Amino acid sequence: MDIDVFTLFPEAFDWFAGQRHVRNAIAHGLRLDRVSFRDHTPLSGGQVDDTPFGGGAGMVLRVDVVDAALRGHYGRDPVELREDRRILALTPGGRLLDDALASELAAEPSLTLLCGRYEGFDERIVEHLATDAVSIGRYVLAGGELAAMVLCDAVVRKLPGALGDETSAVEESFSPALEGAPEYPHYTRPAEYRGWSVPDVLLSGHHGRIREWRLEQARRRGSGGANPLR
């Protein structure tokens, strides 16, 4: 898979790109590129944003800058490009990222992420240059970079080779294997600590009963029966 992240702060992704699971995925064929809007702006002085028409606080990422950046990087009109490639604008009001969307995106051959800044995007970017608007939650971040990293993380860990144990992304919270429920609780050594013991079934060695118990726990958590987060 190819992922290109368009941003005003390419260096913000250095830490993310160095994480073990991302490096693993890169070793298995992932390409993660960062593209600076500033490197492609047609405006003088590296300008990329402007004040909103109609007034109000903050700055808005300009449509001509994003158009030029996409065109400069891909050598094609982005309006045509979006017929062949998912171009995701990270924005608080977009489609909420969940496990199903992460799986859908992990199945794509390539993704382009657009990170807005300050007050976000000129709406024409979302309407005419992007294919999707994606949100990581109904709150406003200072920019799309953290949101892009969250999305990349959720997608990349589903790619072959990202996680050491290939089964670990299959049976995890919200996956179809757990009927969309949060994951069952995990325990490790010591089996007894300060009088807090591990459920007997997990020490029983009965794989069938362990599976049943885990699915039951996941279902209970999913129905709000035993919310560990309260």
Smallest separation, CB 167 to ligand ADE (Å) = 30
Identify which of residues 111 and 147 has a Cβ nearer to ligand ADE in the complex.
147
Please say which residue, 105 or 178, places its beta carbon nearer to ligand ADE. 105
When the beta carbons of 24 and 91 are compared against ligand ADE, the nearer one is 91
What CA–CA distance (Å, rounded) separates 140 from 68?
A: 26
Residue 146 burial (CB count, 10 A): 15
- Of 134, 135, 5, the closest CA to residue 66 belongs to 5
Residues 6+ away with beta carbon under 8 Å from 55: none
Question: Based on CB atoms, which residue is closest to ligand ADE, 139 or 196?
Answer: 139
Judged by the rule CB under 6 A, the positions of this chain that interact with ligand ADE are 90-92, 116, 135-137, 139-141, 144, 147
Shortest distance in whole angstroms from residue 90 CB to ligand ADE: 4
Q: CA separation (Å) from 88 to 5, 25, 124, 224?
A: 10, 21, 13, 32
Shortest Cβ contact with ligand ADE: which residue? 147
Q: How far is the CB of 159 from ligand ADE (least distance, A)?
A: 21
